Structure 1
Amino acid sequence: MTGAGKPLAAVAALMGAAGVVLAALSAHEPDAARLGSASNMLLFHAVVIIGSVLLVNSGFAQRHIGLIAALAFVAGAGLFAGDLVLRQFAGQGVFPMAAPTGGTLMILGWLALAIATAWPTKAG
């Protein structure tokens, strides 16, 4: 991995770790459904970030659009999960509509990844 790939993979690994922690908390904390949703978003998108980086580095996905997709996954999942975690423990979110904004970023990330993989690359 080169360029932005290594930092993105490292962030994805941290997201995965946070997702496991939140899954454990959701199993043990009362009324913790929000934590389960936050965990799922972090875990699912940690894997897709690593996959996006691998697709870009293998030449299967257009580089710039693929990295934009990965960044949208990081921002979206972080915002979505962060908002739910703050609501659980602090009683208020990051800002109004933060979770839906994060969800929208993740949707845009998936669309960007679709474009990145359909876009012609030098590798073919």
Structure 2
Amino acid sequence: MSRTYRILIILAGIMGADGVILAALSAHGSNAALLTPASSMLLFHASAVLATVALAERRLIQPTTGMGAAIGFVVAAFLFAGDLTMRHFTGHRLFPYAAPTGGTLLILSWLVLAVAAAWPRPA
């Protein structure tokens, strides 16, 4: 297993843990309007990262392009969830347009994953 795959799996584990923490905070706190979608994005995309790594390692998708999608999922989910979490706890944004930037990058990452599946794979 490559070092990149291992790092992505570690990051997916952190994303999953953070998603569960945010879900618990949203369930037990007041005004969870921002924490619930942040939790969902982290949990959903942690699974997407793990699946993408598994597909790339088995060469069911073009590995380099697939890793680009997985890295995009990680960065984008942290931008999206980080912005919402920051707004919840501090009232300030991570930076202007962080959540929409993360959302746009998530869309692009899913499209990159589709390209990785359509791209000719090495034998």
TM-score normalised to structure 1 length: 0.97
Answer yes or no: is 1:72 the counterpart of 2:91: no
Answer yes or no: is 1:30 the counterpart of 2:30: yes
State the AA in 2 paired with 1:24. Answer: A
Q: CA RMSD in A?
A: 0.7
Q: Which runs of 5+ in 1 are unaligned?
A: none
How far has the Cα of 1:3 moved from its partner?
A: 2.9
Matches within 5 A, 1:35-74: 35-74=35-74
Matches within 5 A, 1:78-89: 78-89=78-89
State the AA in 1 paired with 2:113. Answer: L
State the AA in 1 paired with 2:100. Answer: P
State the AA in 2 paired with 1:74. Answer: V
Answer yes or no: is 1:9 the counterpart of 2:1: no
CA distance in structure 2 between the aligned counterparts of 1:109 and 1:94, rounded to whole angstroms? 21
Q: Which runs of 5+ in 2 are unaligned?
A: none
SS of residue matched to 2:94 = coil
TM-score normalised to structure 2 length: 0.98
How far has the Cα of 1:21 moved from its partner?
A: 0.4
Aligned to 2:19: 19
CA distance in structure 2 between the aligned counterparts of 1:2 and 1:96, rounded to whole angstroms? 35
SS of residue matched to 2:61 = coil
SS of residue matched to 2:3 = coil
Aligned to 2:94: 94
How far has the Cα of 1:119 moved from its partner?
A: 0.7
SS of residue matched to 2:92 = coil
